[in-house]
Structure 1
Amino acid sequence: MSIAKETIEHIREKLDIVSVVSEYLPNLKKVGKNFTALCPFHSEKSPSFYVSPQKNMFYCFGCKSGGDIFKFVMQIENIPYPEAIKKLAKKLGIDVKETDAEVSGERKVLLDILNHASVFYHKYLVESKDGKIAREYLKTRGVNKDSIEKFVIGYAPESNKLFESAKKKYDPNLIIKSGLVGVSEKNRTLYDNLRGRVVFPVFNLQGDVIAFGGRALDSKKEPIYLNTPDTVAYNKSKSLYGLYQARHSLNKSGEAIILEGYFDVLMLHQNGIENAVAPLGTALTQEHLRQLKRFVETLVLVFDSDRAGQQAAIRSGDLCFDSDMNSRIVSLPEEVDPDEFVLKHGKDKFMELVDSGVNPVEFKTMMSLSQHDINKPEEKSKVVRNVLETIIKIRNPIIKHEMIKFLSSRTNIREEIIVSEMRRAYGFKKIDADESPLDNMSVKLRSIEEEIIWLCLQEPKLCEKVSVNLFSDERCIHSFPVIKQLIKGGELVSIIDNLDKDIADWLIQLSFEQRKCTSFEEIFEKLMRDLKLRRQEEKRKKLELEIIPMLEGRLERNPEKIREFEELKKLLKGTAVN
């Protein structure tokens, strides 16, 4: 059931949030432009709960609760969203009516087609003569019958038998939309995209098949792994292989083991480690973390031991800090995949590895120290700046402090110098408005990208000088197009309805933070210059990895890339990032 958006907006506009909150918090006091009181959602001695009549929102700097008038009533009354709307509507004499939400007919049919395909592929693997080659392959990988049944593994034959079966029940155009079938460019005939592959169904949390991955049995076939495309039923950036099978174990353990491949997940589950999942042909995303946050507080990141795997682990660790999740990075022995390790050494040895995982800052520090000679001051400086890029993302002040101590101990640089460098390189110190008790509160140090978003919230016209392509922080990427609506006079309280909850909460917190700024424009220009320099430095580092083998004669020289690299070096010479 749903309530008309126009009704929700009408209630929000007509009711004064200060008046509503005052009914529950009679000691609400006016301080400057805002109102403050002891937070009703957690125990505290000094007020950290604020209500802004201008923003029509509330926020607590202590427990991080925040939102609009509906969110406040939901939390204080402990009632669902529709009930909060109805309760507030009564104050205006409005009779709220709910209507059935539209269900996508196409999505429902696609799910039927995908479930039909799953049954077809699984039966073909288990029962057909042609499926013997796939059964033998799975046996060589150590996959037993129980795992085949648990994960409903299948086999797609070389022929078009799936399409012939599905077209008896479903529209061929929808079968194509499911991603299971392609159209030949030569003669426009239809063919099974996954033909000749072992097939791994991907389930949503309701147990519906939403996509497939396929592993070629012919090692010469490219690509070796192939996933069906995004559809109205499936988004790879939000889906995880094994999540449906792992859901109960995740709740019990409080940890999720993040792996890279289908067989890694299969073999861990098969060996009794059932809290294992993997992204589907993509890097870990914030959408993945939002899914996992429903079940766990900690991620254990298990990636390949090569340089690419190490970089993927560091990126994922940074993402966990961005999403305020705990994480550990596990180092595997060289040239050994998780499925191979658990097959050879068993569950107990693998769990010893899991327990040996380290904080992403510790991992990145060790990686950086192994790549730089810190007896040279300029190399030591690079290590510190590199690790600070991760430390700045930590939201928990205690963990941030401990990681600064760790970096200090490993580099023999005093903590206060590291903190000073962090403030200099990543933004300006937070100082709150004179008239607000927020003066006495510690507002977290934020990244350059977050500071730019904060400035855009204060002065929406600054959005016109920013391209979304400049951002790498997923929250900034998703929120910036919405923030631009403020230029046309929109209100933050209304436009955040279009954002994911975590991003909306983050924007609310940003909007309540205050600074002493002589000129928003000047600070904005400085931050933009710094951010552009950082992007250029990131590009230089990436090119350097390609150029060094060329200069050493291990790769064919590419004059254009070498010239671009030299130009970037020249441009960045003498800047703070170089």
Structure 2
Amino acid sequence: MEHEHISFPEAIRFIANKYKIEIEETEDSEAEKEKKEVTDSLYLINDFARDYYMDTLFNRNEGRNIGLSYFKERGFREATINKFQLGYATDERDEFTRKAVEKKYNIDFLRTLGLTTKSDADFFRARVMFTIHNVSGKVIAFAGRTLSADKKQPKYINSPESDIYNKRNILYGIYFAKEAIRKNDECILVEGYTDVISLHQGGIENVVASSGTSLTHEQVRLIKRFTSNIKILYDGDAAGINAALRGLDMVLEADMNVKLVLLPDGHDPDSFLVERGSEGFHQFIKDQEEDFIYFKTKILLKETAGDPIKKSIAIKDVISSIAKIPDTLKRSIYIQQCSELLDMREALLVSEVNKIIRANIKAKKIGIPNQPDPDKNEDEWLKQKTVLSTIPPELVINDAWQEKAVATILINYGHEMYDVEQNITVAQYIISNTSEILQYFDTEIPKKIIELVQDLLSKCSIPDHQWYTQNEDESIRNFAIDALTTIYVYADWDSRSMPLQNQKMPDENYIHDASNAILRLQLKKSKRLIAQIEDYLNNASDEVKSSEEYSINMKTYIYLIGQRNQIAEKLGTVTL
């Protein structure tokens, strides 16, 4: 079963057929039959769509002149275009939908798959098309890239999730890469569709993409079906480094061996392959690969050079990552080598790592929501808890209120000016004031939104409302719609000749709101760090108290107390 990489039922049927063994199978219920019929219909419609987009690319003037020209400019050969089933969607309003309906395909299924809008127009128009396959090669979704220079147009739009497509479970190119991954006992992870296609064409076939989204637990488990070794290949700029670090802990938790290769500035895998050629590219990633933990340690220490407070926080970050590794022996080796890199006693690192492990185990036992079991989804995790409050438990225990407030202001007013004289937008203000505490966020969606906006700002782009509400990530779309449709509305006092005396309307008050939201978030995070360090200081042995690490923690503690008091004073609150 593992060798063939098929499901358990498929393996049973395969063995039974091979050895002429008759197996008894129960008959599906009517509901199961109906569900299977729907699923089969969705696959058939996607096959029709793939064929339509490919035919348009090769046989229509618009497809050849725009789509095919683009792919050939990228260096894709016709055989590669056919292999990955690339295509083109015309600019006509509803041509695809009309042809699909003429072929008797169900209009509701077309809408379910996101191929047709609610107004019966084509969803994908004037875009080059990338076909997305599941691990067995079935067409489950599409991604469309605009070639327009209009910045209001999202660069990529994707099929919505459906009964056959859950983007958390899929890696682009996995169907074409799975055998090469197994053969090489290594999976190379890149960011985009064209990176995958270029590397495959260059003879590097054990490569997949997370398609611009943060790596998920499900995707990590999918890779582990074929190998325990993963090499993450990212651009060498700040955005690339941040993207690489974001996926680290998740991969470590899966007990996988992780290497990182950062490409030279100004290059992505596609452009670097063109410059170096296949052999040179192979040699570069072999020479430059670096263990993820050591890479993270060096990056964080470099960023905190000369600042004992930041160094202390960075050390805790590295220790937290090591604590995620399930294999005891592997964890011990990392502790030994990080002890040398950090210039700290090994026994102290062991103690700190064990504290985190014990805390995580305790958190799972008492049901703290921000410590989920990776094998269970969030709903299952929360169902196991006894909650004695009508407030969602994650909002009671962690800093979710403050994190969601910051993300809400970012969505509503990120494009507005925060400081006209300094030419700083609200988005820039929020990002600059959350970058150092982002790793301590408790809620996934606000963290994800801030990370994505951070990447966009590094590329000199500020998202508007449409970018959020039409985002390919359904969780971001839903959060944005809630954020933009506030349930709190001021009474219409102006119409009664009774204007508000001391409170501006939200659209006029966003600068104050942004400042206060950041301050409240910083106050919460400061209090949490203070509590953690207090615990360390109070429980330190006499030997530890004489160490440099204890001294650093004491300085950090004093600094954070001062920072907390300053923030509280600005907010007009009292701290105890």
> What TM-score bracket applies, with the shorter chain setting the length?
0.5 to 0.7
1:167 CA displacement: 0.6
* Residue of structure 1 equivalent to 2:116: 181
* Residue of structure 1 equivalent to 2:50: 118
Amino acid at match of 2:293: V
1:80 CA displacement: 6.5
Q: 1:97 to 1:210 in 2, by over 3 A?
A: closer
Q: Distance in 2 between matches of 1:400 and 1:538?
A: 34
Matches within 5 A, 1:417-566: 417-424=348-355, 426=356, 445-446=357-358, 448=360, 450-453=361-364, 455-456=365-366, 463=367, 466=368, 468=369, 470-471=370-371, 473=372, 475=374, 478=377, 481=380, 484-485=383-384, 532=398, 553=422, 555-556=424-425, 558-566=511-519
1:376 CA displacement: 4.2
Amino acid at match of 2:26: E
- Runs of 5+ consecutive residues of structure 2 not aligned to the other structure: 1-7, 16-23, 388-393, 427-510, 534-559, 561-576
Amino acid at match of 1:228: S
CA contact (8 A) 1:286 1:474 kept: no
CA contact (8 A) 1:156 1:195 kept: yes
Does residue 26 of structure 2 align to residue 98 of structure 1? yes
1:555 CA displacement: 1.5
CA contact (8 A) 2:234 2:241 kept: yes
* Residue of structure 1 equivalent to 2:297: 365
1:487 CA displacement: 6.8
* Residue of structure 2 equivalent to 1:201: 131
Does residue 77 of structure 2 align to residue 144 of structure 1? yes
1:447 CA displacement: 5.3
Does residue 326 of structure 2 align to residue 395 of structure 1? yes
Q: By percentage of residues, which structure has more helix?
A: 2
1:256 CA displacement: 1.0
Q: Distance in 2 between matches of 1:300 and 1:446?
A: 30
Q: Distance in 2 between matches of 1:207 and 1:146?
A: 17
Amino acid at match of 2:76: V
Structure 1 counterpart SS, 2:168: coil
* Residue of structure 1 equivalent to 2:90: 157
1:161 CA displacement: 2.2
Q: 1:268 to 1:99 in 2, by over 3 A?
A: same
CA contact (8 A) 2:406 2:514 kept: no
CA contact (8 A) 1:330 1:357 kept: yes
Q: Distance in 1 between matches of 2:131 and 2:373?
A: 28
Q: 1:182 to 1:290 in 2, by over 3 A?
A: same
Amino acid at match of 2:70: Y
Q: 1:476 to 1:307 in 2, by over 3 A?
A: farther
1:299 CA displacement: 1.1
Q: 1:250 to 1:475 in 2, by over 3 A?
A: same
Q: Distance in 2 between matches of 1:477 and 1:231?
A: 20
CA contact (8 A) 2:323 2:354 kept: no
Structure 2 counterpart SS, 1:233: coil
CA-to-partner distance for each residue in 1:427-477, whole Å, 9 max, x for gaps?
xxxxxxxxxxxxxxxxxx3552x4322x24xxxxxx5xx5x4x34x56176
Matches within 5 A, 1:209-288: 209-220=139-150, 222-288=153-219
Q: Distance in 1 between matches of 2:37 and 2:338?
A: 55
Does residue 278 of structure 2 align to residue 347 of structure 1? yes
CA-to-partner distance for each residue in 1:164-207, whole Å, 9 max, x for gaps?
21112212121111211113xxxx3x221111111011112332
Q: 1:413 to 1:312 in 2, by over 3 A?
A: same
CA RMSD of aligned residues (A): 3.5
Amino acid at match of 2:316: R
Q: Distance in 1 between matches of 2:308 and 2:396?
A: 22
CA-to-partner distance for each residue in 1:507-539, whole Å, 9 max, x for gaps?
xxxxxxxxxxxxxxxxxxxxx999748998999
1:97 CA displacement: 7.3
CA contact (8 A) 1:392 1:447 kept: no
CA-to-partner distance for each residue in 1:34-79, whole Å, 9 max, x for gaps?
xxxxxxxxxxxxxxxxxxxxxxxxxxxxxxxxxxxxxxxx9xxxx9
Q: 1:482 to 1:390 in 2, by over 3 A?
A: closer
Q: 1:559 to 1:365 in 2, by over 3 A?
A: farther
Q: 1:534 to 1:153 in 2, by over 3 A?
A: closer
Q: Distance in 1 between matches of 2:248 and 2:187?
A: 13
CA contact (8 A) 2:190 2:232 kept: yes
Structure 1 counterpart SS, 2:531: coil
Q: Distance in 2 between matches of 1:550 and 1:350?
A: 44
> TM-score, normalized by length of structure 2?
0.64
> TM-score, normalized by length of structure 1?
0.64
Amino acid at match of 2:27: T
Which stretch has the larger CA shift, 567-576 or 265-274?
A: 567-576
- Runs of 5+ consecutive residues of structure 1 not aligned to the other structure: 1-73, 84-95, 427-444, 457-462, 489-527
Q: 1:149 to 1:293 in 2, by over 3 A?
A: same
Q: Distance in 2 between matches of 1:205 and 1:259?
A: 17
Amino acid at match of 2:99: S
CA contact (8 A) 2:373 2:381 kept: no
* Residue of structure 2 equivalent to 1:575: 531
CA contact (8 A) 2:405 2:517 kept: no
Q: Distance in 2 between matches of 1:142 and 1:476?
A: 41
Q: 1:264 to 1:447 in 2, by over 3 A?
A: farther
Structure 2 counterpart SS, 1:130: helix
CA-to-partner distance for each residue in 1:199-249, whole Å, 9 max, x for gaps?
011112332211001111212161111111111111111111111111221
1:566 CA displacement: 3.2
1:275 CA displacement: 0.8
Structure 2 counterpart SS, 1:198: strand
CA contact (8 A) 1:300 1:354 kept: no
CA-to-partner distance for each residue in 1:235-292, whole Å, 9 max, x for gaps?
1111111111112211211111111111000100010001111123421111112221
